[in-house]
Structures are given as structure tokens and as C-alpha cells.
Chain A
Amino acid sequence: MSDTSTQSTEWPLWEVFYQPSDGKPFEHAGSVHAPDSEMALQNARDTYARRNEGIAIWVVPSDQITASSPEDRGPFFDPANDKAYRHPQFYTVPRAVKKRK
């Protein structure tokens, strides 16, 4: 790399989430670089919402996100595996009631 590279500036990374339309949950879109949250919002709008893809945007510093790790997926989620009684299919109801919608 040349000398220029050591001196040049790189802004921090922000993760971008947007709400596609009224009442919908926010979705992850991607990331942008920006020096602060205000400019991160503007960059996120110009990058991910040029066609009204969103009606609201969140930006979060990427290093502030904590994620579950894929290797632990089994043990991490297994408390949910043996609780069939959390689903409506676990219960029986009289046939007469079942037929009515």
C-alpha cells in the first residue's frame, strides 16, 4: 500500500435497519460508513431508500451489536424444543367446536 493509505480516513461502520411500510417490523438492509449518527442516517437514506423502500430508518454502530454464535445454535435454542405445550396443536377441543370457523 502507498503512503496515502496510511493517512486516509475511514469513518466508522453503522448497521442500517428500515421499516418498509406503516405497521411493519424493521428489517436489516446493510451497512454504511459515516462519521456520526446524523450523517449515517442521511447516507443510509441515500444508499438504501432511493425508491421509498422505507418510511423510517434506524442506524446502530456495528460494534454495538451482540449476536448469538452459529456454533452454539443447538444448545442455545434447545430450551424451546421440548415445549410442545406452547403450541395450540398440543390441545384437543370437542369436534363440534372444531368444525366452526
Chain B
Amino acid sequence: MDTQKQLDDFQKRIDNGETIEPKDWMPERYRKQLIRMMSQHAHSEIVGMLPEGNWITRAPSLKRKMVLLAKVQDEAGHGLYLYSGTETLGVRRKELIEDYIYGNAKYSSIFNYPTLSYADICVIGWLVDGAAIVNQTMLAKSSYGPYARANLRICKEESFHKKQGYEMLAKMASGTAEQKRMAQDAVNRWWWATLMMFGPHDSDSPNSAELIKWGVKTKTNDELRQHFVDRSVMEAEAIGITLPDPDLTYNEETGHWEFGDIPWDEFWSVVKGDGPMNRERIKSRRKAYEEGEWVRKAAAEYARKKKLVKAS
């Protein structure tokens, strides 16, 4: 059991703004919360390749195909930075991956929605990656060193993801009537799901207070969401896109945009596994993992044989 003195000393380090490193003493619960949060983040990056990978073969031009390929490869990289960071907490990567493929580890619900047209690829870059940047910029200052450093690396790459999507959407929104309709339709479908990416309201988020106390997070779900809404309103207006919320109003006093009620029933049903794509995503991941097993085995065997030849 963690003693009170250990807990107090730990809290003092956090309050001083010190960074916690893998070998440092930490409360068991801090370790557990980080493993949960970091592995969920890692799984999300990996599963995030699926909705976009779906469109690589049907990209509208060679340029867009190269961009999308590079972006999807980055998402794999982000997943690997985060798995690497999580392993410093004393868990094996294989356990984490299998807990997600065969167990019930969670990942971001946003990836349980389908991508119906190429406009969805634009909107994922603009809104989904835009929201991820808001979250990850905060996490780059997290109290746990390996998590902060992984997020810093991710943020450097994520701005390309957002910009390519926003640029492409702007182009579509100023195109033919049909392109405009596609762009607006994609925004209509993704907007609310993106707002849910920041998690439940602070009043319904049991983990938030503890994570903030320990400096894992420095802002609440609602603060991050508000920041994102304020920015998105401006960006939507600049390219002639309407956000699908009739209640959006500017509050002169607070300087923030107020928005309508988020459909939380939908959020919880997707979290519980009943989103449009939950089953499909897990099926695809399981298939990739199992069909890749012979490659992992063959590579291990090749390495073993090479070592033998070298030794003889």
C-alpha cells in the first residue's frame, strides 16, 4: 500500500511542476490511470487508420493519395509512440494490444462512425484531427514524462493532418453545387461526434478531477471543448460552411460561442459498443493481427537463423 507520506511527497512534486519519470515512485492508482489513458489513446490512433485507409484506393488524385497515405502512416507512428510510452509503466505491448483486440479495452468513439464519401476525409482532418490537437497540446505538458514527450512528437505531425483536411474542404466548399453539398453533408454528420471526443461534461466525468490533481491533464473536458468550438466557428465561416447547430450564439460577456445540447445518449450507446462501426472495426483489427502472425513468426525465425550463422 502507498503510505500517506509517499502520496504527499508525490503531490508536492506534481505541484512543483516536476516531471515524473518511469523509475520514480508513483501511486499505484496514478500508474493504473496512465496505463488506461495512454493505451486507449494508442488504440485510438491505430483504429483511426481504418476509416481513412478505406479511401486510399479511391483518392481523387495522385497527390491526394500520397497525402492520405502519409497521414495514415503517421497515425500508425502515433500509436507506436504511445505504446512505447505505456510500456515504460511496466506493461507489455502484447498485453495491451490483446486486451483491445480480444478484451474490452476502449478507444475513441469517433472511429466507430463510417466514412461515406471523400468529403469525410476532409472533415476528419479538419475537425477530428483539429480536436485531437486541442487535447494533445494539453497532454504534451502532462506530468508523466514519456506521455508528454509522445504527445509533443504527435503534435508536430498533427498540424499537417488538420491543414490538409481544411484546405481540401475549403476547395470542395467552393466547388460545384454537388461538391458543396458533399462538403456540408460530411460536416453535418461529423460535428456532434467530434464535440463528444472531449468526453462527458465535467459534472459527469469521474476521472477528470483526479487526473487534473495529478497533472496528467491540465484542463477539463468542457474547457477544451469550448476552445475547440470557438476556433471551429471562425474556421467554418471562413470557408462558407455552416455548423449544424441552430443554437450557436456568441456571448459578448464571456467571449465564447454557446452551443446546443450534445446528444449524449448516442455517445453512451457508441461507447457501449453499439455505434455504426464498432463490430466492423474490431473485426478488421483482429483479422490484421491474426493474419500478421506468420510474418512476426517468420521474422523472428529469420533473426534466429542469422544469429546461428554468425556464431558458427
- Residues of A near any B CB (own CB < 8 A): 1-2, 4-5, 7-11, 13, 30-33, 35-36, 39, 46-48, 50-51, 67, 69-71
Given contacts A30-B84, A36-B303, A70-B21, contact A50 B74 (CB under 8 A): yes
State A11–B24 Cα separation when bound (angstroms). 27
Tally of B interface residues using CB under 8 Å: 37
B102 near A39 with CB under 8 A, answer no
Contacts of A2 in B (CB 8 A): 98, 102
Contacts of A33 in B (CB 8 A): 93
Across the A-B interface, the 4 shortest Cβ-Cβ residue pairs: A36-B303, A35-B303, A10-B94, A30-B84
Contacts of A50 in B (CB 8 A): 70, 73-74, 77, 157
State A26–B312 Cα separation when bound (angstroms). 34
Given contacts A9-B296, A31-B87, A50-B74, contact A69 B102 (CB under 8 A): no
Q: In the complex, how many angstroms separate the beta carbon of A67 from the nearest chain B beta carbon?
A: 6
Asked if B237 is at the interface of the complex by the 8 Å CB criterion, the answer is no
- Residues of B near any A CB (own CB < 8 A): 21, 23-25, 70, 73-74, 77, 80-81, 84-85, 87, 92-94, 98-99, 102-103, 146, 149-150, 153, 157, 289-290, 293, 296-297, 299-300, 302-304, 306-307
B25 near A71 with CB under 8 A, answer yes
Q: In the complex, how many angstroms separate the beta carbon of A96 from the nearest chain B beta carbon?
A: 43
**Which of A36, A48, A71 is in CB contact (< 8 Å) with B306?**
A36
**Which of A10, A36, A39 is in CB contact (< 8 Å) with B93?**
A10
B25 near A70 with CB under 8 A, answer yes
Contacts of A31 in B (CB 8 A): 84, 87
A35 near B84 with CB under 8 A, answer no
Contacts of B70 in A (CB 8 A): 50
Given contacts A35-B299, A47-B80, A50-B74, contact A8 B293 (CB under 8 A): yes
Contacts of B85 in A (CB 8 A): 30
Name the CB-closest residue of B to A10: B94
Q: In the complex, how many angstroms separate the beta carbon of A43 from the nearest chain B beta carbon?
A: 9
**Which of A4, A11, A46, A51 is in CB contact (< 8 Å) with B296?**
A11
B98 near A32 with CB under 8 A, answer no
Given contacts A2-B102, A36-B307, contact A9 B297 (CB under 8 A): yes
